[in-house]
């Protein structure tokens, strides 16, 4: 029997939220605050491989205090959404890409590789029990947070020989409660999020731990996110703490994003935006982009729009870039046309309002 044909034992939550409680949460879900009634857990150990796949009531997990994750940060995660279409059906977006990325992250963090079809099945299992938690308002979704930890109780420094994979899910409202509005971002020159040869390309909690202090400094400067430069020369754009970044050269119909450098996270939204831009005949460039190119291009008017993208906020216009002693752009200018039309096209595909011409959607329920 292949590991991916593991069957799930289902324990239904004996005291789920009532329909009324759920409706109150779904009316104003926020982001990452409320969780559904169930979760998925799958165990792994070196001798048995993947086993003991379960759907169980959402609740605390118990860890040995010596578990590897608590000491050496052996953790990876994913972020992927379920979207409700107008006919009530529930779909997700490019889950094989997330499953493959989880495997690449696992390889870097010396965690076991979850078969991609088991990853997709784990999302389907969640929807089988918690479909009622997929909101139906415009721009709302159910955000899945699959993650994996090394939980062998052992303080020696090596990859854990025991690991657990979990999926939890959280209803998410529209990221921008008052409509999509440009944000200001802060250029971090004192900190990098990832090192050359480090874990920047893996989706792991450790990268986020390293970004919290610069993120806090950005917020102190009135910025909602931080922009990181390459860790070697401190000259080329990498990404925001949790989103990839794009520049639009309006006059030449060109879309530019930093090439994957080994320390940039390979966003699935990034790749999808690149495809949609190519489809509409834009010139698309993945290359090194210096911070001076951004500053000069915005000042000269060649760069007409800048935006960030990721699963959680989809596409976010960047109105202003600020840093030590400088500021470019105008936070009060309206969101750019190219930004908003790429955003609309992507969300229209995800919500089933446009044909899925690339076969990106997978039905979950």
* Cβ-Cβ contacts under 8 Å for 98 (sequence gap 6 or more): 78, 79, 80, 119, 146, 268
CB of 210 to ligand PLP, least distance (A): 11
User: Between 57 and 173, whose beta carbon lies closer to ligand PLP?
Assistant: 173
User: Between 97 and 160, whose beta carbon lies closer to ligand PLP?
Assistant: 97
Residue of 254, 243, 257 lying closest to 304 (CA atoms)? 254
User: Between 170 and 269, whose beta carbon lies closer to ligand PLP?
Assistant: 269
DSSP string, 216-284: HHHHHTT-SEEEEE-TTTS-BEEEESS-EEEEEETTTTEEEEEPP-SSS---HHHHHHHHHHHHTT-EE
CB of 277 to ligand PLP, least distance (A): 15
User: Between 11 and 288, whose beta carbon lies closer to ligand PLP?
Assistant: 288
Phi and psi, residue 218, nearest 5°: -60, -45
User: Between 161 and 224, whose beta carbon lies closer to ligand PLP?
Assistant: 224
Distance in angstroms (rounded) separating the CA atoms of residues 232 and 252:
31
Distance in angstroms (rounded) separating the CA atoms of residues 356 and 220:
42
CB of 200 to ligand PLP, least distance (A): 8
CB of 64 to ligand PLP, least distance (A): 28
The strand pair at 183-188 and 314-323 is best described as parallel
Q: Which tokens is 246 given?
A: 């794009």
CB of 202 to ligand PLP, least distance (A): 9
CB of 203 to ligand PLP, least distance (A): 5
User: Between 16 and 79, whose beta carbon lies closer to ligand PLP?
Assistant: 79
Distance in angstroms (rounded) separating the CA atoms of residues 100 and 147:
13
Give me the residues that bind ligand PLP (CB under 6 A), please: 79, 203, 239, 242-244, 265, 267-270, 310-311
């Amino acid at each position: 029997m292949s590991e991916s044909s593991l069957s799930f034992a289902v324990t239904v939550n004996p005291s789920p939220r009532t329909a009324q409680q759920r409706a109150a949460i779904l009316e104003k879900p926020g982001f990452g605050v409320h969780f559904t009634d169930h979760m998925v857990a799958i165990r792994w150990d070196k001798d048995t491989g993947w086993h003991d796949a379960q759907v169980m009531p959402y609740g605390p997990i118990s860890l040995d205090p010596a578990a590897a994750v608590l000491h050496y940060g052996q953790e990876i995660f994913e972020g992927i959404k379920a979207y409700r279409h107008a006919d009530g059906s529930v779909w997700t977006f490019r889950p094989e890409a997330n499953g493959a990325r989880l495997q690449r992250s696992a390889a870097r963090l010396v965690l076991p590789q979850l078969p991609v079809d088991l990853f997709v099945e784990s999302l389907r299992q969640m929807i089988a029990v918690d479909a009622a938690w997929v909101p139906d308002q415009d721009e709302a979704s159910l955000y899945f947070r699959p993650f994996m930890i090394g939980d062998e109780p052992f303080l020696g420094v090596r990859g854990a020989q025991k690991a657990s994979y979990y999926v939890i899910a959280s209803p998410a409202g529209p990221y921008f409660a008052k409509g999509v509005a440009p944000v200001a971002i802060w250029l971090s020159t004192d900190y990098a999020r990832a090192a050359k040869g480090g874990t920047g390309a893996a989706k792991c909690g450790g990268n986020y731990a390293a970004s919290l202090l610069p993120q806090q400094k950005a917020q102190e400067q009135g910025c909602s996110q931080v922009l990181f430069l390459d860790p070697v020369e401190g000259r080329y754009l990498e990404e925001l703490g949790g989103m990839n970044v794009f520049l639009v050269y309006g006059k030449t119909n060109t879309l530019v994003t930093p090439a994957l450098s080994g320390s940039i996270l390979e966003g699935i939204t990034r790749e999808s935006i690149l495809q949609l831009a190519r489809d509409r005949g834009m010139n698309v460039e993945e290359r090194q982009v210096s911070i001076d190119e951004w500053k000069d291009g915005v000042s000269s008017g060649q760069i007409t729009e800048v935006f960030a993208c990721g699963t959680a906020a989809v596409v976010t216009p960047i109105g202003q870039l600020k840093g030590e002693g400088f500021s470019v752009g105008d936070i009060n200018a309206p969101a750019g046309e190219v930004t908003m039309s790429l955003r609309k096209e992507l969300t229209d595909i995800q919500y089933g309002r446009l044909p899925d011409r690339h076969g990106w959607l997978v039905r979950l329920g």
